Amino acid sequence: YGSINMKNLSIGILKTDTVRESLSPEFGEYPDMFIRLLKEIDDELNLVTYDVEHQEYPNNINEVDAYLITGSKYSVYDNEPWIIALTEFVRELHREHKKLIGICFGHQMVAHALGGSVDKSSEGWGLGVSESTLISAESWGTGGNKFNLLMSHQDQVMAPPENARVIAATKFCPILACQLEDHVLTFQGHPEFDKSYYRALMDVRRERLGDELYSQALEGATKPTDNPKVAQWIVNFLRKE
């Protein structure tokens, strides 16, 4: 059990979406964004991608030390075979007390799989930079409790996973981050998004959002983000005994 603290921690990135063809040459796929983010914190990390959107899984859950579920344009309550398979996999990870990080869709998937609930928010789109604070001091939460992350979501966690603690909240998004025991940590925001990808994504979505939301999204993205801080939290959490 102590091996997780050794230098070469391995993380399986569970890829739940494909970046639009117009954007992937410049920005890569979502796992690439997480690899860039986490390698900046610790370049010894061993990061492996499993394309769960196309039903690709490890042969054995202990192939890696920990898992991270990416963001996605899908909803966790969509009745897609791959989403149902991922729901089962999350339950298995939880039963085995494997370390698990969930981001955006991943945050929602953990709630959906482990006794919480997710739905489209009556508040509409969450866009731009969300300013939040950890509700209580966490041992992994180094460098101060405040954190800013880019948001891009319509669905929200309505009820947290069973026995989970809500560790960050905003008025717009009351369940912004959750911790379940010592092995699951999830965030609604996107530490892997840089501003240029976010702006490019909003450009692509402009028609769908409409001009008013689009300009709000860009205006809301001018505040600074704390991507490296949250990345450090994730690594601290995964390394914690």
Please list the active-site residues: 104, 190, 192
Q: For residues 116 and 125, what is the distance between their CA atoms, to the nearest angstrom?
A: 21
Residue 225: C-alpha distances to residues 59, 64, 144, 201, 231 (Å): 37, 29, 14, 17, 12
Q: How many helices (H) does the chain have, and how many strands (E)?
A: 7, 11
Alpha-carbon distance 62 to 102, whole Å?
18
**CA distance to 46, 97, 216, 235, per residue, from 7 (Å):** 10, 21, 42, 11
Q: Which residue, 200, 196, 202, is CA-closest to 227? A: 196
Beta bridge partners of 186: 102, 178
